[in-house]
Structure 1
Amino acid sequence: MTTFNLLLVALIQGITEFLPISSSGHLILLPSLSGLDDQGQIIDVAAHVGTLAAVILYFWSDVRLALGGTRRLIQGKADTPGARLALGLIIATIPVILFGLFLKVTGLSDHMRGIAVIGWTMTIFGLVLYWADQKGPTVKTAEVWTLKDAIKMGLWQAVALIPGTSRSGITITAGRMLGYTRTDAARLSMLMSIPTIIASASLLSLDLIGTTDASALRDIGIVAVMSFIAALIALTLMMRLLRAVSYTPYVIYRLVLGVILLWIAYT
């Protein structure tokens, strides 16, 4: 792949991973609409590693709290905020892992990568996000995240395996429906992304064992570093903007892109 193609993939992945506009949908659309070569799974893994590092760095205090709580869980105790957070993240990740394995084994994931599917999911789930953001109450914070809410948000997260849905978008939607504030719904969504990205990257890596040669290391490094920088900037800006701006701008973007994709798909 050319350096330009690598940078384009890294920027798209980094910017869209944590915004509620679907990173997977944009990466699928890139070769379809631009004529560029498909980036392949190796580059996908590298891009995800970059965004993973960005979210861990940004939410390091929460990550450190959950890591400390994991030790309590190993001891069979969930009596601290960190242990409860760690348990919630584990529970919220189970549905997406199970659904992801189902799609991989059945081969259904390959049949959902079309422009029409992405167009419909962009549009439908964009409208659902708008409704949840406008109508959802703001009575909960991330500190009172319950296991019941973790299960519900985890089930919604599994739906994001359909391209164009957006993992962050659907989990933020679920969070707003459950009554979490805009910033805390986003915060929980970002924390949920950590084990999900780790699971996804690990699954892809299993398919790539023994296929990476030395010439690919440069490409992997470029994509990982650029994805990290782009994701950190996008994440920082979104979290700051949420203090004053709703999710409506992202909804408008989803609707415009969705309509364009449906027009392309059916004409």
Structure 2
Amino acid sequence: MNVLNENNEIYFTYNKSIYRPRYSQLNPFKFFLSDNSYNTGDPNLKPQIDDSFTLGYTLNSKYTFELYYRNENDPSIQITFQDNDSKLLKNIDTNIDRSISYGLDFTTFTPPVMSNWDVYAYSSLFYYENRFTALESNSQLYTTDKWSVYLQMVNYFSFLKDKTLTADVVLTYISPLVNGPSEVSNRTGLDISFRKTFWNNRASLTMGVTDIFNTQNFTQTTKYLNQDILLNSRIENRMFTLGFNYKFGNFRLQTNKKDIESIERDRLN
């Protein structure tokens, strides 16, 4: 990180990651989901190796802009192929040729809008491209790509004089994007949760609802060469949660553990 002055910081990072396939992705046996569709893995899957580059700028320790580029070599994903002869849908875990993405991210945690209201905002404009072998189309190489947007705003509210009652309201929007050979439709979600603490913060009661209006469902369209598949997802995403937490013992005692240096902690993780 290079600190230009007290209000401006600029930094550059490079990260190399290796993702090894799970057992379910390597299992070659067919798992039938219905009479005309099944999942199968590939025992010859190769590890996925990612190279990521990020150039970032922070203004006034509040606003962060990041330009990034990510190259995925041999990414392993599940692709649905339509076998027009046997009338089957085959969901195959396979290595595609490559995926690249780049974009601009913006993050801010604003000063309190009001004395009891804070806002965190994140937005991303990104390009995603996948190149893969169309196994049911004479093994031709095919490319899908699209510019997309991801937006999220998290609102933190506190109530009562002692601020022992809090609420989080999260609004998320995802524009249409590509996933392998497919295009996924846009989605919107609204979550809300409440937390009330009691007995000098020794106990807390939480409750919330995710995807209040059940708007996180989507359609996934795969249309290229001799493939024409439509998946209409109608999952019940709305979920109610209720929890109670109580701290036993003298929870104010401080640990005598020394803090691990951040570099060493990152290495251990």
TM-score normalised to the size of structure 1?
0.23
More strand by share: 2
More helix by share: 1
Higher relative contact order (CA 8 A, sep 6+): 1
TM-score normalised to the size of structure 2?
0.22
